[in-house]
């Protein structure tokens, strides 16, 4: 006799058609958001699909609980808006939670890494100082794309 288990599973991406959809309906399909922020127009729900995922969706909801807009924010257009001097909270408000963080030596801060969909094996990196401000940004190679001396890709 075989046993079967039903598991709760959320969708990776928002549904294609969200016209008239409520926040509750979206959460039922996608699962609980990672972060909920208040905005000038209502609420913003953050759905990062990581750490190996290449997408983070921001869903804006009006005060009545209706979906206003959905945006996949991990894009080079959005990365180009991250500049030295911004606060780490401003980065989170534009890009969401990083895929991975790495500490810098001598307690100089951290590097936030964002995986995203691109034709190269790279991620976007933001160096955050101890003062919680952006020191620099750039693109790097994630560990899964590094090659060893035999030209083999590390898993």
Angle (CA) 80 138 151, round 5°: 135
Number of domains in the chain: 2
Task: Check whether residue 146 and residue 87 sit in a common domain.
Answer: yes
pLDDT at 25: 96
- 100 plus 155 within the same structural domain: yes
pLDDT-based confidence at 68, cuts 50/70/90?
Answer: very high
| Residue 5 domain flag | no
Residue 48 in any domain: the answer is yes
Tell me the three state secondary structure of residue 53: coil
Cα–Cα distances (Å) from 72 to 46, 68, 85, 123, 152, in that order, read 10, 14, 24, 16, 32
Determine the Cα–Cα distance for residues 72 and 79; give it in Å rounded to an integer.
12
Domain boundary among 32, 47, 72: 72
Are 155 and 89 contained in the same domain?
Answer: yes
Same domain (yes/no): 144, 105: yes
Q: Quote the mean pLDDT of the chain.
A: 88
**Is the Cβ–Cβ distance between 132 and 88 less than 8 Å?**
yes
* Model confidence pLDDT, tens digit, residues 24-61: 999 999 999 999 999 999 999 999 987 688 999 999 99
Q: Is there a domain that residue 6 lies in?
A: no
Instruction: Look at residue 123 and tell me whether its pLDDT is greater than 90.
Output: yes
pLDDT (tens digit per residue) in 70-80: 999 999 999 99
In a domain, 11, yes or no: no
SS3 28: helix
Report pLDDT for 5: 40
Residues 125 and 153 in one domain: yes
Q: Which of 9, 39, 72 is the last residue of a domain?
A: 72
In a domain, 4, yes or no: no
Range of the structural domain that residue 97 is part of: 83-155
**Residue 2 lies inside a defined structural domain of this protein:** no
CB proximity list for 10: less than 8 A, separation 6 or greater? 29, 30, 31
Q: Is residue 103 part of a domain?
A: yes
Same domain, 154 and 88: yes
Shortest CA distance to 14 belongs to which of 62, 63, 78, 67? 67
Residue 21 pLDDT > 60, yes or no?
A: yes
Phi-psi region of 30 (alpha: psi -120 to 50; beta: other; left: phi over 0): alpha
pLDDT band of residue 149 (cuts 50, 70, 90) is: low
């Amino acid at each position: 006799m075989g046993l079967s288990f039903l598991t709760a599973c959320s969708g990776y991406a928002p549904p294609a058609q969200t016209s008239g959809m409520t926040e509750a309906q979206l959460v039922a399909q996608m699962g609980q958001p990672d972060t909920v922020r208040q905005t000038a127009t209502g609420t913003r729900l953050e759905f990062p699909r990581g750490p190996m995922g290449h997408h983070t969706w921001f869903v804006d909801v009006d005060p009545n609980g209706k979906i206003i807009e959905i945006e996949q924010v991990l894009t080079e257009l959005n990365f180009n808006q991250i500049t030295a001097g911004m606060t780490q909270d401003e980065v989170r408000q534009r890009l969401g939670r990083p895929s991975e963080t790495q500490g810098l030596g001598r307690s100089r801060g951290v590097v936030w890494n964002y995986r995203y969909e691109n034709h190269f094996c790279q991620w976007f990196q933001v160096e955050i100082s101890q003062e919680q401000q952006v020191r620099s940004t750039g693109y790097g190679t994630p560990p899964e794309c590094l090659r060893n001396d035999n030209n083999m890709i590390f898993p």
